[in-house]
Amino acid sequence: FVLAHVHIKRAAAVANREAGWLKPELATAVIDACDRILNGELADQFVVDRFQAGAGTSHNMNSNEVIANLANVTLGGERGTYTPVHPNDHVNMGQSTNDTIPTALRLAALAKLPRLCGAVTGMAEEYARIAARERDTVKSARTHLQDAVPTTLGREFGAYAWTLRRCVVRLEGLRPALCEIGLGGSAAGTGLNTAPGYAEAAAHELARLTGEAILPAADPAAQMQSMHDLQRLSSALRDLALELIRIANDMRLLASGPRTGLGEIRLPPVQPGSSIMPGKVNPVMFEMLNMVCYQVLGQDAAVSAMTQAGQLELNVMMPALGSALFDAMDWLTNAVRAATARNLTGLQVDRERCRAFLHASVGLATLLNTRIGYAAAAEIAKESEHSARPVRDLVAERGLMSAEEFDELVLRAARDGVVAG
C-alpha cells in the first residue's frame, strides 16, 4: 500500500509536469525521490499506523512530507524547510486524500493478486496431478458421511482442482474493475484544482509503472463514496476461504487414522503430533490452513461493515478496510503455498485400503437398481448391513451375476459411471 501510494505521487508529478503546472526541476526532484523510496529507501519514515485518522489523510501527508524532504535534499535544501518543494503545493498537486487513498488501495490489491492466484493455481495443479495419477484408484464415495456409490480418487481430487481453478477465475475477473481509478477526482470527486488532462495522463503513467490496464473512472465521485469493487474482492477471498476450509477438512478426514480412521491417504509428516503420545503425526498444515481461512472470514466481515460505513461523499474507513483486505490476501497466499508444499506435495494414497472400503460398502447395491429395481436392491443393502456380508457375495449367492461380473460392474461404475450393458 505504501509503495502504491508513492507510485501515485510519481505519476502525479509526471502528469503535472506535462500539463505545465509543475516546474520540470521540481518534478524531476519529486520523481527521483519517489524512485528512491520505490527502491527501498526510507521505508522506516512511513510511520502512520493502519488505524489512523479517517480516510487516510495522515498517511497521505506522511507520503507528501517524506517525498518533499527527500526532494529538497536532492536540490540542496534542508529537511523540514519545505522549500523549494512543498508537500502540499507540489507533491500533492491536483490531489486529495479522497482520490489518492482509494486509488492506492486498488493498486495494492492488483499488485497482490498475482501471488495469491499463483499460490491457488499451484495447489490446483497439485490436486490435478494427483487426480491424473490416481484416475484408476477405485474407492467408495461418501454422501452424508455414509457409504455411497463407487468412484475414483482421481475424480474426487479432480473436483478439488476444478473448484480452486474456478476461484482463481473469479479473482482474475475482478481486475478490470480494480483498474478503474478515481485519481483526478480530487476532493469529493469534483476535480477541483486539477490540470486539464491530468486524470488521463496520471492513469497512463500508472499503467506504464504497474503494467496494469489502468483507466480513469467514468465517475470519480463514485470511487470515493463506494468501496464496492474492494468488497467484491473481499467476497471472492471469503468464497476461496470457504472452499479451502471444505477441502482441508476432507484432507484431514481422508488422512484420519492411521488405524482407526479412514486412512485412505497419508500426508507427509511435518512435525511430531503430540507432546505426550509418541509417534503421533497430525495433518498440521491443513489445520493451519483452516485457521487462516477462519480468520479470513473475520476479515471479510470487517470489510463488509466498513464498506457500508461510507457516508455522503466519502468512505472514511478506507485505511482499516484496506488493512483487513491485504492481510487476508497475504495470509491466504502464504497458507496455501505452505499447505501445498508441506502436506499436499508428497501425499500418498493407500490404494488397498480404498479398494477394501469399496468392496465393503453397502452403497454398491445401488449398481443393481437398473437390473433388479430399487426395492430389491434395497433388500440386498439391508441384508449386507445387518449380516456384515459384502454385497458382492450376496449378489453371487442369489445368482444375479458372478462375483467376477460384479467386480467388473463396480470397476466400470467407478471409472465411467456405466452400469448397464
- Averaged pLDDT, 167-174: 98
Verify that 227 and 316 share a domain, yes or no. Answer: yes
Verify that 381 and 285 share a domain, yes or no. Answer: no
CATH code, domain with 377? 1.10.40
**Beta bridge partner(s), residue 152:** 138
Instruction: Tell me the average pLDDT of the chain.
Output: 94
Q: How far apart are CA 329 and CA 109, in angstroms?
A: 8
Percent of the chain with pLDDT over 90: 81
Verify that 338 and 409 share a domain, yes or no. Answer: no
Verify that 125 and 250 share a domain, yes or no. Answer: yes
Last residue of a domain, one of 350, 370, 403: 350
Instruction: Give me the residue label for grid cell 480530487.
Output: 186
Q: How many domains does the chain have?
A: 2
Per the domain annotation, does 198 fall within a domain? no
pLDDT of residue 400: 86
Verify that 275 and 390 share a domain, yes or no. Answer: no
- Averaged pLDDT, 371-389: 89
Verify that 329 and 248 share a domain, yes or no. Answer: yes
Per the domain annotation, does 290 fall within a domain? yes
Verify that 299 and 237 share a domain, yes or no. Answer: yes
- Averaged pLDDT, 331-339: 99
Which tens digits make up the pLDDT trace of 300-323? 999 999 999 999 999 999 999 999
Verify that 141 and 170 share a domain, yes or no. Answer: yes
CATH code, domain with 116? 1.20.200.10
pLDDT of residue 272: 67
SS3 271: coil
Q: Which of 58, 96, 235, 274 is catalytic?
A: 274
Residue 72: partners with Cβ closer than 8 Å, 6 or more residues away: 29, 78, 79, 81, 82, 83, 84, 85
Q: How far apart are CA 364 and CA 390, in angstroms?
A: 9
Least confident of 107-121, 132-146, 382-396: 382-396
- Averaged pLDDT, 5-26: 98
Specify the higher pLDDT residue, 28 or 413.
28
Per the domain annotation, does 57 fall within a domain? no
Whole-Å CA distances, 237 to 231, 305, 306:
10, 16, 16
Per the domain annotation, does 406 fall within a domain? yes
Greatest alpha-carbon pair distance for the chain in Å reads 100
Q: How far apart are CA 349 and CA 139, in angstroms?
A: 11
Per the domain annotation, does 20 fall within a domain? no
- Per-residue pLDDT at 363 exceeds 80: yes
The pLDDT-based confidence of 421 (bands split at 50, 70, 90) is very low
Verify that 257 and 144 share a domain, yes or no. Answer: yes
**332, 237 Cβ separation under 8 angstroms:** yes
pLDDT of residue 295: 98
274 is catalytic: yes
Residue 16: partners with Cβ closer than 8 Å, 6 or more residues away: 22, 27, 93, 94, 195, 198
The pLDDT-based confidence of 335 (bands split at 50, 70, 90) is very high
Last residue of a domain, one of 350, 385, 405: 350
- Averaged pLDDT, 53-80: 95
Verify that 240 and 388 share a domain, yes or no. Answer: no
Verify that 295 and 368 share a domain, yes or no. Answer: no
Per the domain annotation, does 60 fall within a domain? no
Domain ranges, residue 158: 110-184+218-350
pLDDT of residue 275: 54
- Per-residue pLDDT at 209 exceeds 60: yes
Last residue of a domain, one of 329, 350, 371: 350
Which tens digits make up the pLDDT trace of 235-279? 999 999 999 999 999 999 999 998 899 999 999 988 666 656 656
Per the domain annotation, does 205 fall within a domain? no
Query: What pTM was estimated for this model as a whole?
Result: 0.92
Per the domain annotation, does 17 fall within a domain? no
Verify that 300 and 165 share a domain, yes or no. Answer: yes
Percent of the chain with pLDDT over 70: 97
Specify the higher pLDDT residue, 390 or 209.
209
